[in-house]
Amino acid sequence: MTNHLVLQTDFGLSDGAVSAMYGVAITVDPGLRIFDLTHDIPQYNIWEGSYRLYQTISYWPEGTVFVSVVDPGVGSDRRSIVVKTETNQYIVTPDNGTLTHIQKKLGIKEARIIDENINRLPSSGESYTFHGRDVYVYTGARLAAGVISYEEVGPSVPVDSLVELQITEATAHKDNVLGTIDILDIRFGNLWTNIERETFKQLNVEYGDHFEVTIENDTRQIYKNIMTYGRSFADSHLGEPLLFINSLDKIGVAINQGSFAKAYHIETGTNWKIYIRKVPKIIYN
Amino acid sequence: MTNHLVLQTDFGLSDGAVSAMYGVAITVDPGLRIFDLTHDIPQYNIWEGSYRLYQTISYWPEGTVFVSVVDPGVGSDRRSIVVKTETNQYIVTPDNGTLTHIQKKLGIKEARIIDENINRLPSSGESYTFHGRDVYVYTGARLAAGVISYEEVGPSVPVDSLVELQITEATAHKDNVLGTIDILDIRFGNLWTNIERETFKQLNVEYGDHFEVTIENDTRQIYKNIMTYGRSFADSHLGEPLLFINSLDKIGVAINQGSFAKAYHIETGTNWKIYIRKVPKIIYN
Amino acid sequence: MTNHLVLQTDFGLSDGAVSAMYGVAITVDPGLRIFDLTHDIPQYNIWEGSYRLYQTISYWPEGTVFVSVVDPGVGSDRRSIVVKTETNQYIVTPDNGTLTHIQKKLGIKEARIIDENINRLPSSGESYTFHGRDVYVYTGARLAAGVISYEEVGPSVPVDSLVELQITEATAHKDNVLGTIDILDIRFGNLWTNIERETFKQLNVEYGDHFEVTIENDTRQIYKNIMTYGRSFADSHLGEPLLFINSLDKIGVAINQGSFAKAYHIETGTNWKIYIRKVPKIIYN
């Protein structure tokens, strides 16, 4: 049995690009099983590509081969690599920071540079703008199908030579925690922070407790208000904000059936800071 | 051979949520065949989730397992259920009205509550916000793959205990029919009414006949004009409105190569009423 | 082993239409492997449907069956056909110009009209508006699964009887080439012209050479400026325009990490003309 192939790109699904990638993989092995992570990574947004891999790969079996193509440097001398993770999954990608979260949070065992003399779609023409089709999915499909072994990808390189984006960790203090807004739960507009459940719990929290939440973009304050900590959205009234543990075991900020991100024009990145401070229970007289 | 698994959510495809669900299902059974109904149900719109199930499940084989997650009450005490339909298909969903059209139009034989002591993804953490991944697709995949039988889902509950949304039926009168705008054919902006072909035919209609169509939102009149009844869009001139039998054997309202919904700002629901009255053939002198 | 089935429509993925098509195919053969080209062809845009087929089918194996439904004339007397290409792939489609690029660029061996007495979904009701489900995918699935042979599709018709859209070819002159903007690389906003690499090379070009690029819509000049010819986007500065060879071996126009189409409001079609003139190397003093 072959392994599964899972594709992620910033190409969208509105033209033929992703279908050409599927066709290349199916031509490598007509029985190959191919799935999508997402093709809706915002163009050139390596950070988000890195995060979506981190968000999902634990739910896929060992041996799964991921191909992730967010590649603003296509055609430059950036390296093309395949890594083997601590969980024995493979990721085929340009070496541009796409592996940041995987390396920091899940671990990478080994990295190899793709040898394009062997691992490039035959007769792929004089185009240097679609390595997703000509190099990455071709290599990923051959690896998943067992046409090449991991060693045949190309020469090994040190794991610590991989390009990494900057990640900041949340910190806990006496009566507050400080973190950043890492990413959005896009459809629902919930904020996903980098504050782990364990970090948050150092404040001795219980469901129903109240917190003052402050959000800043660089030095500008964007939001400051009190909200409760609930098990899920249904623990707040319709339209009310709340803190909750998201599906990655980190602190999220939501409005029950509304979009927190849209309501306050909040975006993501290390310059979007969030402070959560425990406040005494409020008694309304 | 295992049964097929078909997923519907309001999660969108822009982040990793649906891919995590696929991964859970593939981990249950690496050979499982998984398909999408749509992931573009408007957020929290249970009615539309119910309608899309009704629109499509007749075209899938017996034994197919559908997982539908439009779940504004995630984390509350709303029940999680699996039903077996009269057509021997299964639907895994929160019990919040998602089964309204299936129950009314196609019939449900049996309902069972998901026993989360057995049917919950192991080590799914302390998050209560992603039952789509941790409960619904996990249960659906195990049922489709034959890891559990339908009886092993959990205890049986009466079918008439299921939550139902209100549905109104179209009515035929002497020279007109009265119905509601149930839903849109989204891409093309056609209105899909709840008026069955058989109800409409009580007006003794033939292709080419003329009808006065009136659309009201609550008490406000939105549209009133004459149009013809055609076999298909090509029976009207470009840009002309027409009545037609849609792909669910109900009356639709369209503009040939235009969007009726956008042209007149028409939305859907039981407060969007449509009257269709037969008028004499118009003779232009 | 059955052949693969690949679907293209202008239906979008937001309602149940495409899923109903999948269900019909799976009911024909539960083991059939089905993929998407795209379902995001702009409504009624036959040209773009034709182009996306041309862009992708070379990457799929022999025997693959494509179903393409961009069908403004559904329900009219337009013919429904299945062609066999020079590359031994099949395309099921309304005969409305969808095969224009395939016929001109890749070649069609044989064409047959679908005999709807045999090849129509049983009990598909009195609706004449969803031939994608009732005729095209049903026929495509049966062909891919080997339930019917190509000959059983229906009677043969001359290949030169197929409807064709007008295509214009690029022309090379002494110091310039003249072409049209055929289509966009949608997500990135790059222009894809009809100028083949070989035509362009008649200007004796090398990477780094400078060109004056003029774009006109009918008689109105939209853009005129100097840009360089690069191997890929990374050969220009961030935000700089460039000429490049795209993934179909034709000339493209891009802005490195920007959208050329959005920047200058450029659309596509034979009335969008592009002139590329070689200019002497510019020396900045």
Per-residue DSSP letters for B213-269? EEEEETTEEEEEEEEEE-SSGGGS-TT-EEEEE-TTSEEEEEETTB-HHHHHT---E
What is the DSSP pairing of strand A65-69 with strand A5-9?
Answer: parallel
Q: Mean pLDDT of all residues in chain C?
A: 94
The values of phi and psi at residue B19, to 5°, are -65, -35
Greatest alpha-carbon pair distance for chain C in Å reads 78
Chain position carrying tokens 């249904």: A234
Cβ contacts from A onto B, under 8 A = 110
Q: Which residues pair with A180 in a beta bridge?
A: A273
How far is Cα B36 from Cα B44, in angstroms, rounded to an integer? 18
How far is Cα A133 from Cα A183, in angstroms, rounded to an integer? 28
Contact check, Cβ <8 Å, B127/A59 = no
Nearest to C233 among A20, A23, A129 (CB): A129
Contact check, Cβ <8 Å, B14/A246 = no
- B interface with C, Cβ–Cβ below 8 Å: 1, 4, 6, 35-40, 52, 55-61, 64, 183-188, 197, 230-235, 244-249, 252, 257
Nearest to B13 among A38, A60, A235 (CB): A38
- C interface with A, Cβ–Cβ below 8 Å: 1, 4, 6, 35-40, 52, 55-57, 59-61, 64, 183-188, 197, 230-235, 244-249, 252, 257
Residues in Cβ contact with C45 at an 8 Å cutoff, skipping those fewer than 6 apart: C10, C70
The pLDDT, as a whole number, for residue B25 is 98
The pLDDT, as a whole number, for residue B1 is 64
The values of phi and psi at residue A209, to 5°, are -65, 155
Q: Is the distance from CB of C32 to CB of C5 less than 8 angstroms?
A: yes
SS3 A49: helix
How far is Cα C51 from Cα C192, in angstroms, rounded to an integer? 11
More confident of the two residues A162 and C73: A162
Cβ-based contacts of A36 with chain B (< 8 Å): 13, 19
Q: What angle do CA A86, B130, B86 make, to 5 degrees?
A: 120
- Number of neighbouring beta carbons within 10 Å of residue C220: 8
SS3 B151: helix
The pLDDT, as a whole number, for residue A283 is 66
Give C131 to chain B, closest Cα distance, Å. 9
Residues B221-234 as b or e (16 or more Cβ within 10 Å = b)? ebbeeebbbbbbbb
Cα C108 to the center of its chain, rounded Å? 15
Give A145 to chain B, closest Cα distance, Å. 14
Residues in Cβ contact with A283 at an 8 Å cutoff, skipping those fewer than 6 apart: none
pLDDT band (50, 70, 90) for residue C219: confident
Is pLDDT at B125 greater than 70 in this prediction?
Answer: no
Give C71 to chain B, closest Cα distance, Å. 10
SS3 B176: strand
Cβ contacts from B onto C, under 8 A = 110
SS3 A48: helix
Contact check, Cβ <8 Å, A27/C60 = yes
Residue of chain B minimizing CA distance to A259? B43
Give B146 to chain A, closest Cα distance, Å. 19
Angle at which helix C46-56 crosses helix A17-28, to 10 degrees, equals 30
Residue of chain C minimizing CA distance to B49? C15
Whole-complex ipTM: 0.94
Residue of chain B minimizing CA distance to C27? B61
Residues in Cβ contact with C61 at an 8 Å cutoff, skipping those fewer than 6 apart: A23, A26, A27, A30, C4
Cβ-based contacts of C235 with chain A (< 8 Å): 75-76
Which chains form contacts with chain C, at 3 or more CB pairs under 8 Å? A, B
Token code pair at residue A227: 């909200």
The pLDDT, as a whole number, for residue B20 is 97
Contact check, Cβ <8 Å, C15/B59 = no
The domains located in chain B, with CATH, are 5-161 (3.40.50.10790), 171-279 (2.40.30.90)
- B interface with A, Cβ–Cβ below 8 Å: 10-24, 26-27, 30, 34, 43-44, 72-76, 125-130, 133-134
The sign of the dihedral angle between the CA atoms of C237, C239, C244, C249 is positive
How far is Cα C261 from Cα C190, in angstroms, rounded to an integer? 6
Contact check, Cβ <8 Å, B40/C129 = no
Contact check, Cβ <8 Å, A249/B126 = yes
Alpha-carbon distance values, C186 to A11, A23, A216, C42, C250 (Å)? 8, 20, 35, 11, 16
Cβ-based contacts of C74 with chain B (< 8 Å): 232-234
Contact check, Cβ <8 Å, A129/C252 = yes
Contact check, Cβ <8 Å, B27/A61 = yes
Interface test with A, best of B15, B29, B32, B133 (most A CBs within 10 A): B15
Contact check, Cβ <8 Å, B234/C75 = yes
Nearest to A59 among B24, B34, B72 (CB): B24
Contact check, Cβ <8 Å, C14/B233 = no
In three state form, how does the secondary structure of A126-193 look? CCCCCHHHHHHHHHHHHHHCCCCCCHHHCCEECHHHCCCCCCCCCEECCCEEEEEEEEEECCCCEEEE
Cβ-based contacts of C18 with chain B (< 8 Å): 38
The pLDDT, as a whole number, for residue C237 is 86
The pLDDT, as a whole number, for residue A234 is 79
Length of chain C: 285
How far is Cα C57 from Cα C41, in angstroms, rounded to an integer? 16
Interface test with C, best of B50, B54, B87, B187 (most C CBs within 10 A): B187
Cβ-based contacts of B30 with chain A (< 8 Å): 1, 4, 61
Give the E-state strand segments of chain B in sequence order: 5-9, 34-36, 65-69, 80-85, 90-94, 108-113, 156-157, 171-172, 176-185, 190-196, 210-217, 220-229, 241-245, 250-255, 269-279
How far is Cα A140 from Cα C31, in angstroms, rounded to an integer? 24
The values of phi and psi at residue A169, to 5°, are -100, 150
Cβ-based contacts of A23 with chain C (< 8 Å): 56-57, 59-61, 64
Is pLDDT at B183 greater than 90 in this prediction?
Answer: yes
Is pLDDT at B94 greater than 90 in this prediction?
Answer: yes
pTM, whole model, 2 decimals?
0.95
Cα C238 to the center of its chain, rounded Å? 29
Give C262 to chain A, closest Cα distance, Å. 14
Contact check, Cβ <8 Å, A197/B130 = no
Q: Is the distance from CB of A201 to CB of B29 less than 8 angstroms?
A: no
For C113-125, the pLDDT digits (tens) are 999 998 999 977 6
Chain position carrying tokens 């849609």: B246
How far is Cα C258 from Cα C237, in angstroms, rounded to an integer? 11
The pLDDT, as a whole number, for residue C1 is 64
pLDDT band (50, 70, 90) for residue B234: confident
How far is Cα A196 from Cα A175, in angstroms, rounded to an integer? 16
Cα A230 to the center of its chain, rounded Å? 25
pLDDT band (50, 70, 90) for residue B280: confident
Q: Is the distance from CB of A92 to CB of A65 less than 8 angstroms?
A: yes
For B26-51, the pLDDT digits (tens) are 999 999 999 999 999 999 999 999 99
Give B208 to chain A, closest Cα distance, Å. 37
The values of phi and psi at residue A195, to 5°, are -90, 110
How far is Cα C182 from Cα C193, in angstroms, rounded to an integer? 5
Sheet with C65-69: strands ordered across? C34-36, C5-9, C65-69, C90-94, C80-85, C108-113, C156-157
Residue of chain B minimizing CA distance to A48? B15
How far is Cα A248 from Cα B230, in angstroms, rounded to an integer? 53
In three state form, how does the secondary structure of chain C look? CCCCEEEEECCCCCCCHHHHHHHHHHHHCCCCCEEECCCCCCCCCHHHHHHHHHHHHHHCCCCCEEEEECCCCCCCCCCEEEEEECCCCEEEEECCCCCHHHHHHHCEEEEEECCCCCCCCCCCCCCCCCHHHHHHHHHHHHHHCCCCCHHHHCCEECHHHCCCCCCCCCEECCCEEEEEEEEEECCCCEEEEEEEHHHHHCCCCCCCCEEEEEEEECCEEEEEEEEEECCCHHHCCCCCEEEEECCCCEEEEEECCECHHHHHCCCCEEEEEEEEEEECCCCCC
Question: DSSP character for B139?
Answer: H
SS3 A251: strand
Token code pair at residue A178: 């400080």
Is pLDDT at C6 greater than 80 in this prediction?
Answer: yes
Interface test with C, best of A2, A4, A10, A19 (most C CBs within 10 A): A19
Is pLDDT at B282 greater than 80 in this prediction?
Answer: no
Give A165 to chain C, closest Cα distance, Å. 19
Interface test with B, best of C7, C9, C127 (most B CBs within 10 A): C127
Question: DSSP character for B106?
Answer: I
Is pLDDT at C144 greater than 70 in this prediction?
Answer: yes
Alpha helices in A174-259 (DSSP H): 197-201
Nearest to A19 among C36, C233, C257 (CB): C36
Cβ-based contacts of C63 with chain A (< 8 Å): none
Cα A259 to the center of its chain, rounded Å? 20
Contact check, Cβ <8 Å, C14/B247 = no
Query: What number is the average pLDDT over the span C19-39?
Result: 97
Contact check, Cβ <8 Å, C16/B187 = no
Q: Is the distance from CB of B170 to CB of B179 less than 8 angstroms?
A: yes
Phi-psi category of C218—alpha, beta or left, where left has phi over 0 and alpha has psi -120 to 50? left
Alpha-carbon distance values, C96 to A15, A59, B19, B68 (Å)? 20, 45, 37, 37
pLDDT band (50, 70, 90) for residue C149: very high
Residue of chain A minimizing CA distance to C251? A127
Cβ-based contacts of A61 with chain B (< 8 Å): 23, 26-27, 30
Cβ-based contacts of B141 with chain A (< 8 Å): none
List, run by run, the mean pLDDT of 10-residue segments along chain A (285 residues).
Answer: 93 97 97 98 96 97 98 90 98 98 97 94 79 96 98 98 95 95 94 96 94 94 95 85 93 94 93 93 65
SS3 A224: strand
